[in-house]
DNA sequence: ACCAATTAAGGTTAATTAAGGTTAATGCTT
DNA sequence: AAGCATTAACCTTAATTAACCTTAATTGGT
């Protein structure tokens, strides 16, 4: 059964959409509060997300970037009253894969959901943050906040784990700096940008011994975590 | 170089859209007659198609289905004055991967084109950016940002890698200066043009040892990367 | 048609700016 | 007080801008 994570704070619309999707055979988890999404993702891995932009606590763009940070190939459809092109651009920049303006027809939403699912039929699902990852000679246990080297085990802090998880979710492909900042810190201010530098350096320190692996800077763009 | 096949019978719109896309660094083939599309596909394999629905001879739905019959994973975006949900549903049924209603902003079209391309890149692993390329005696690893010579390995910067990738994607065939500027810098201002000179020089420096290869200037036109 | 003179296109090298890197100090939280 | 996250100050380097040079394409007079 296809699982839809639906984030919408307006109760009446939320109810109608949820029920209609359920009638179409989707399993729907409806959340009204942006801040509750990430915790929920630990227990419910959806096939697709449908998110509103104007939400309490955390806005939809940030939410999308956070979700994509964990699950880069999970489709995210924006469903929003914001009709301007600038908002649509922000949505796609945050990693969204489709954008529907309100008012919309349920039929269109359903067709677009199915389209997103179809496009990805071949691409396998992301391994969730729960599984072990091999990185060069090391092993990374995201849920344990641990990095196991041949000789020792390093305990990772919250931020270290978040940055490493995001980068290893996108092994061998460039991740934009802006995207990292948005999905971990929620904004790309100057200070957070310096802050990210600090964590990049820490991670580089951990991986200094492992010659199979390199965290490369793409100046003006972002980073790639390369495995040779 | 991203190739767009654009099918639109209305001349003035067709011209504006084609030109704007070209300014963004896309290679655009614009066709006005639905019946001419399939023959053209034999000689021009695009990365994405943008199709109108109301066309002479063959309608857009049929065309889309034909294109998807040959190239199932080629993205097809409908760009149409038909605003009804029923038409959108027909579009997706025909195998379309996105649907934009007229009137639309060029910015939205560009963002949605890039989105479709990105979805594909994430899904399929071995796109050309990932593979190794032999250039004379050297090897170029685009995804590692490295150029391997018989004696050493050169680390390429972001810009160096972009320019070299673009040129080697078109080995032995001319690449227009303007096209390089548009697709890497996004505009062909005077300063970026001087900037490109700087990177051409850097690349020439790297390849100075390799007599099998030459980066030739075509004054007034662009460059060819020749392999002898 | 031929060959200066002119000019536009690109080349070279250096200076500047902006993006990140490094390390240390400060501030929160528990 | 300990441990992490953030802020800060200063350093390094890629990318851009700038100034000046060279060469290929035009142009225009003969």
pLDDT, tens digit, 9 for 90 and up, residues A79-134: 999 999 999 999 999 999 999 999 999 999 999 999 999 987 644 455 554 578 89
| Residue B155 zone, left/alpha/beta (φ > 0; ψ -120 to 50; rest) | beta
**Do you find a cis peptide bond into B148, omega within 30 degrees of 0?**
no
Q: How confident is residue B122, by pLDDT bands cut at 50, 70 and 90?
A: low
Q: Which helix (H) or strand (E) holds B36?
A: none
Min Cα separation B228/chain A (Å): 30
The whole-number pLDDT of residue B77 equals 98
Give B156's DSSP letter.
P
Backbone φ and ψ for B224, nearest 5 degrees, come out as: -125, 135
The residue behind tokens 């019946």 is B35
Q: Which helix (H) or strand (E) holds A201?
A: helix A190-207
Residue B129 has pLDDT above 80, yes or no: no
- Answer whether A85 sits within 8 Å of B107, measured CB to CB: yes
* pLDDT the model gives residue B130: 54
* Percent of chain B's residues with pLDDT above 70: 96
Quickly state the pLDDT bin for B123 (edges 50, 70, 90): very low
Per-residue pLDDT at A126: 53
| C1’ D14 / CA A98, Å | 35
Residue A41 pLDDT: 86
- As a whole number, the mean pLDDT across chain B is 92
Q: Where are the beta strands (DSSP E) in A58-192?
A: 76-80, 98-101, 133-135, 138-141, 146-148, 153-155, 175-176
- Provide the β-strand partners of residue A214: A226
Strand order of the sheet with strand B175-176?
A: B175-176, B222-227, B213-218
Residue A48: asked if its preceding bond is cis (omega within 30°), the reply is no
Residue B124 has pLDDT above 50, yes or no: no
- What residues in chain A have per-residue pLDDT under 70? 121-130
* Residue B70 reports pLDDT greater than 70: yes
Nucleotide D7's nearest residue (CA vs C1') is A191
User: Which pLDDT score is estimated for B119?
Assistant: 86
Question: Which chain A residue shows the shortest CA-CA distance from B124?
Answer: A123
The whole-angstrom distance between A33's CA and the closest CA on chain B is 27
Dihedral of alpha carbons A173, A166, A5, A189, sign: negative
Scanning every strand, the nucleotide with its C1' closest to B195's CA turns out to be D16
Q: Residue A187 is encoded by which pair of tokens?
A: 């904004």
Q: Is the distance from CB of A212 to CB of A201 less than 8 angstroms?
A: no
Residue A190: other Cβ atoms inside 10 A: 7
Q: Rounded to two decimals, what is the model's pTM?
A: 0.83
In 3D, which of A175, A197, A141, A192 has the Cα closest to residue A65?
A175
CB A191 within 8 A of CB A185: no
Nucleotides of C under 7 A from a protein CB: 9-14, 19-24
End-to-end CA, chain B: 23
Which residues lie below 8 Å from residue A219, measured CB to CB, with a gap of 6+? B157, B158
Q: Which two tokens stand for residue A226?
A: 């390369």
Residues of A in contact with B114 (CB under 8 A): 92
Residue-level length of chain A: 228
Spatial contact of B209 and B149, defined as CB atoms under 8 Å apart:
yes
As a whole number, mean pLDDT of residues B90-112 equals 97
Burial (CB count within 10 angstroms: exposed 0-12, middle 13-18, buried 19+), residue B117: middle
Local confidence band at B220 (pLDDT 50, 70, 90 cut-offs): very high
Distance to chain B for A141, nearest Cα, Å:
24
d(CA A200, CA A65): 19
Token pair 């790639």: residue = A224
Kindly provide the b/e burial profile for residues B89-113, where b requires at least 16 CB atoms within 10 angstroms of the residue's own CB: bbbbebbbbbbbeeeeeeeebbbbb
Give the position of tokens 């990805």: A120
pLDDT at residue number A121: 62
Please give the protein residue whose CA is closest to the C1' of the nucleotide D23. Answer: B219
Q: What's the rounded Cα separation, in Å, for the pair B226 and B205?
A: 15
Determine the Cα–Cα distance for residues B146 and B112; give it in Å rounded to an integer.
31
Q: Which residue has the tokens 């919408």?
A: A8
Mean pLDDT of B25-41: 93
A23 CB neighbours strand D below 7 A = no
């Amino acid at each position: 059964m296809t699982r839809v994570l639906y984030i919408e704070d307006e109760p009446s619309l939320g109810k109608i959409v949820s029920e209609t999707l359920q009638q179409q055979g989707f399993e729907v988890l409806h959340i009204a509060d942006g801040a509750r999404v990430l915790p929920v993702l630990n227990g419910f891995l959806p096939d697709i997300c449908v998110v509103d932009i104007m939400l309490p606590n955390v806005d939809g763009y940030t939410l999308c970037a956070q979700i994509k940070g964990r699950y880069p190939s999970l489709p995210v459809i924006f469903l929003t009253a914001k009709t301007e092109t600038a908002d649509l651009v922000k949505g796609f920049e945050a990693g969204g894969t489709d954008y529907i303006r309100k008012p919309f027809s349920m039929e269109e939403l359903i067709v677009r959901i199915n389209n997103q699912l179809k496009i990805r039929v071949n691409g396998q699902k992301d391994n969730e943050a729960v599984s072990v990852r091999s990185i060069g000679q090391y092993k990374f246990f995201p849920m344990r906040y641990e990095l196991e080297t041949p000789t020792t085990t390093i305990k990772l802090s919250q931020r270290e784990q978040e940055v490493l998880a995001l980068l290893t979710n996108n092994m061998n492909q460039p991740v934009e700096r802006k995207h990292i900042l948005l999905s971990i810190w929620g904004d790309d201010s100057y200070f957070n940008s310096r802050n990210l530098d600090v964590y990049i350096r820490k991670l580089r320190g951990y991986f200094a011994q492992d010659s199979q692996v390199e965290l490369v800077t793409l100046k003006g763009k972002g980073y790639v975590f390369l495995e040779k």
